[in-house]
Amino acid sequence: MKLSAAEEALMQLLWENQPVLLKDLVEAHPEPRPAQTTVATLLKRMQEKGYVAFTSRGRAREYSATVSKKEYFSGHFNKLIANFFNNSKAQFASYFTRETDLTKEQLEDLKRLIEAEIDKK
């Protein structure tokens, strides 16, 4: 299930600060800060979607992400490849190298990364 832009921004704060109390999440949010009730509502939705869990600490709740940033990004990245590149990573790589204005040095770095991965396999 996809997160909204506001939920993704909150996930970013969770990944950077977890475990974290609600009041600390509000304080970590850039200005203008949302109301604590708004953050609580977002956290509840994110919990229902399976992205967030909490532990009770007295009357407070300490929140943590249940999905790593890498897992979240990987899922979206693979969905992008499936939807826009016919599930072909080669088509994506071709598009990426042609359409992103990479410098020659960046392409050489990418080539070295690919060669290193080939050597591993």
pLDDT (tens digit, 0 to 9) for every residue of the chain, 121 residues total?
Answer: 789 999 999 999 999 999 999 999 999 998 999 999 999 999 999 999 999 999 998 999 999 999 999 999 998 889 999 999 999 999 999 998 888 888 999 999 999 999 999 999 8
Q: What does the alpha-carbon distance between residue 92 and residue 100 come to, in Å, rounded to a whole number? A: 11
CB count within 10 Å of CB 55 equals: 10
pLDDT computed for residue 118 by the predictor? 93
Answer whether 55's CB lies under 8 Å from 19's CB: yes
Ranges assigned E (strand) in 30-75: 52-57, 60-65
Give the H/E segment covering residue 79.
helix 69-84
pLDDT computed for residue 92 by the predictor? 92
pLDDT computed for residue 2 by the predictor? 84
Question: Is the pTM value of this prediction over 0.85?
Answer: no
Residue closest to 22 by CA, chosen among 37, 6, 5, 2: 37
Give the H/E segment covering residue 20.
strand 20-21
pLDDT computed for residue 81 by the predictor? 93
pLDDT computed for residue 52 by the predictor? 97
- Domains of the chain with CATH codes: 5-65 (1.10.10.10), 88-121 (no CATH)
